[in-house]
Structure 1
Amino acid sequence: MALFGQAAAPASTSSTTGDTSKDVEVPAGQVPSDSISDLQFSPTNDFLAVGSWDKKVYIYEVGNNGAVGKWMFECQGHVLGLGWSKDGTRIAAGDSTGMLNIVDFRTAPASGTVPAQQAKAHESGIKCVRWFQTGGKDYVATGSWDKTVKFWDLQGAEPVGTLQCQERVYSMDVKDQLLVIATAERHIHMVNLTNPTTIYKTITSPLNLNFSFKCHRQPDPTARETAKVYSVNAISFHPQHGTFSTAGSDGTFHFWDKDAKHRLKGYPEVGGSIVATGFSKDGNIFAYAVSYDWSKGYGGNTAQYPIKIKLHPILGEECKPRPGSKKR
């Protein structure tokens, strides 16, 4: 899929400064009314799911002319994390009350508000939701601030397994039969999903000690030796090239070649903090959400702060690794 049919358009490789002039914005009347917490493209269809602190999940249909609202469902708490099923027919949302919310679009109307199947899954907020398959069955994994990961087969109200983590779950992802869980205090748990209630390995992240990429920094015009450092709010990997994006509180996003340790493109400030990002299933569209991220505390949360969802068409060589880069 390409926005305005631009997939074949060339992009300059001579400059590392990117162009956002062709980015397409979701109409203002169709965006959430509060800060955006997560966004996820469907793995099979041209749908983009967006979760918000307004306790709603919005599903947009993405086409050549941008994105239009298709479905919406409400949760009991602030939406913290989203996850699509592997076949793209269902979506799960975790909220701040510990409720797991699931919608099956195979039985949904053509558009409009749809009800979610809801279950009390955790004692605290659900930060992460991921689907996986094992033994020919679909399961949902939920990671919570109550320091547990629970596994659900969607057949009953009780989990089929519970994994006790060392700390609050902040991030989680699945690749084939591997589940990786990142928690507070820099713990990283690895789980073999054929034996999901046992932690296979735990390491402590060294990322407070070293880093490969200096990003989201700006020189301080009043102090030559000082740089303003902004938080990195979102990291997304390109599904084809293995390159990745970073986006942050400074309102910029960048594409990186991890193997060459090189920035491919950096883009100008977009008018507010970027809080969530994602690539479409074919890697031709990069979506980013702009809203307040609380990086400046309560005082920075004003009614005038923008809430935007924008779609950036990936053109030419923007996300391709440098020639000669060796994959790790």
Structure 2
Amino acid sequence: MSDDQIFLPSPPFDSISSVQYSPTNPDQLLVSSWDATVRFYDVGERGGKGSAEAKFEHRAAVLACCFSDATHGFSGGLDTSVRELDFATENIRNLGQHNDSISTMAYSRDSNALITGSWDRTLRFWDSRAASPQTGSHDTPERVYQLGLVNNTLVVAMASRLFNIYDIRKMDQPAQQRESSLKFMTRSLACMPDGQGYATASVEGRIAVEYFDPSPAAQEKKYAFKCHRQTIDDVDHVWPVNALAFHPIYNTFASAGSDGTVSIWDHKVKKRLRQYPKFSNPISSLAFNCDGTKLAIAVSYTWDEGEAGLKTAENPLVAIRKLGDEVKPKGWTGN
């Protein structure tokens, strides 16, 4: 273990579905897992190792989690329930249900709305302060895989390589409907903090950089590139890109794949800035903390090889990497 990386104590014992940092506290982290738990960590310098502060037991695998504020979060998964988590008391409150597994969620602090996406082909909106927490349900043309939210713009990645882009203040219809620039199934999605666009990645070792502005000039800037590939003994190996995360200040982004590597990219100049040392397991999720000083990396088996791969898979880990100038674009001047 190096000085710039720690591994959190008491990690989940099954595959990690999501790591999510608090939007306001750079040391608070949620980790959801197929072991039917959500774990709440303080990743600060307490003894240099981070600490497990709370654990929430669910009835089935948890696929998604997020924060609302410093004391509460949300979770959802295969048992179809939308739950609110109280970090201080470890109480779990059931807000309502979907009709199928909850695959993804995002929280809008501006409108106090939790947005959940499901394989039941709906997006649902929730306000945990309300007597009837579900405030809206919106049909989608396909199963929802991933959500990305920046300001009031919601990007929804679905099966059949479909994307809907909404203004969350006007959910009666999508502002834009798109087909993925990538040929294969969408595995990950993240929005640019500057609100200009988003990045998406596929099971087939490619990332696409997209822009919201539908004008031809803006759309000419979009591009896709190959990554998380390696030639071994003259054979090309291609790995799924499982996770994307944008740096909150520099607008660079991290990608991680089933090859066990994390790369940092400057998408404006189309260059890789850094690749970190390889992990021995795939990486399933990534998150930058709110001040951009740390990157959480979920290292866990992702079932790409089916049951056979489980025999050689190592136990899940959550690594916290301290970040330096490698995440900063060349010539960064602060704008």
Same structural fold, with TM-score higher than 0.5 when normalized by the shorter chain: yes
State the one-letter code of the partner of 1:73. Answer: F
Residue-by-residue CA offset, 1:41-74 (whole Å, 9 max, x unaligned) = 1111221100000110000001121311001111
**1:21–1:123 distance in 2 versus 1, CA, 3 Å:** same
CA distance, structure 2, for counterparts of residue 244 and residue 206 of structure 1? 18
The answer to whether 1:161 aligns with 2:170 is no
Look up the SS of the partner of 1:198 in the other structure.
coil
Kept in 2: contact 1:57–1:79 (CA 8 A)? yes
The answer to whether 1:179 aligns with 2:154 is yes
Structure 1 residue 195 displacement after superposition: 1.7
Name the structure, 1 or 2, with higher relative contact order (CA <8 Å, separation 6+).
Answer: 1
Structure 1 residue 21 displacement after superposition: 6.2
Look up the SS of the partner of 1:185 in the other structure.
helix
- Alignment equivalent of 1:118, drawn from 85, 94, 97: 94
State the one-letter code of the partner of 2:28. Answer: F
CA distance, structure 2, for counterparts of residue 214 and residue 199 of structure 1? 29
Kept in 2: contact 1:180–1:191 (CA 8 A)? yes
- Alignment equivalent of 2:83, drawn from 98, 101, 104: 101
Q: TM-score, normalised by structure 2?
A: 0.82
Kept in 2: contact 1:20–1:268 (CA 8 A)? no
**1:69–1:84 distance in 2 versus 1, CA, 3 Å:** same
Residue number in structure 2 paired with 1:213: 225
Kept in 1: contact 2:13–2:315 (CA 8 A)? no
CA distance, structure 1, for counterparts of residue 132 and residue 307 of structure 2? 38
Kept in 1: contact 2:281–2:301 (CA 8 A)? yes
CA distance, structure 2, for counterparts of residue 197 and residue 124 of structure 1? 22
Residue number in structure 2 paired with 1:129: 105
Residue number in structure 2 paired with 1:275: 284
Q: TM-score, normalised by structure 1?
A: 0.84
Paired-residue identity, %: 33
Look up the SS of the partner of 1:63 in the other structure.
coil
Residue number in structure 2 paired with 1:305: 314
The answer to whether 1:56 aligns with 2:31 is no
Look up the SS of the partner of 1:213 in the other structure.
strand
Look up the SS of the partner of 2:43 in the other structure.
strand
Structure 1 residue 125 displacement after superposition: 0.6
- Alignment equivalent of 2:174, drawn from 199, 203, 206: 199
Structure 1 residue 215 displacement after superposition: 1.4
- Structure (1 or 2) with the larger CA radius of gyration: 1
Residue-by-residue CA offset, 1:238-278 (whole Å, 9 max, x unaligned) = 00100001111111111000001000001221111111111
- Alignment equivalent of 1:138, drawn from 85, 109, 112: 112
Structure 1 residue 194 displacement after superposition: 1.4
Look up the SS of the partner of 1:299 in the other structure.
helix
Deviation above 6 Å: which 4+ runs of structure 1?
Answer: none
Residue number in structure 2 paired with 1:8: none
**1:194–1:22 distance in 2 versus 1, CA, 3 Å:** closer
Give the alignment of 1:181-260 within 5 angstroms. Answer: 181-208=156-183, 212-221=224-233, 223=234, 226-260=235-269
Structure 1 residue 175 displacement after superposition: 1.5
Between stretches 65-74 and 238-247, larger displacement belongs to: 65-74
TM-align CA RMSD: 2.2
Q: Number of matched residues?
A: 294
Kept in 1: contact 2:8–2:43 (CA 8 A)? no
Kept in 2: contact 1:76–1:95 (CA 8 A)? no
State the one-letter code of the partner of 1:188. Answer: F
State the one-letter code of the partner of 1:61. Answer: D
The answer to whether 1:41 aligns with 2:33 is no
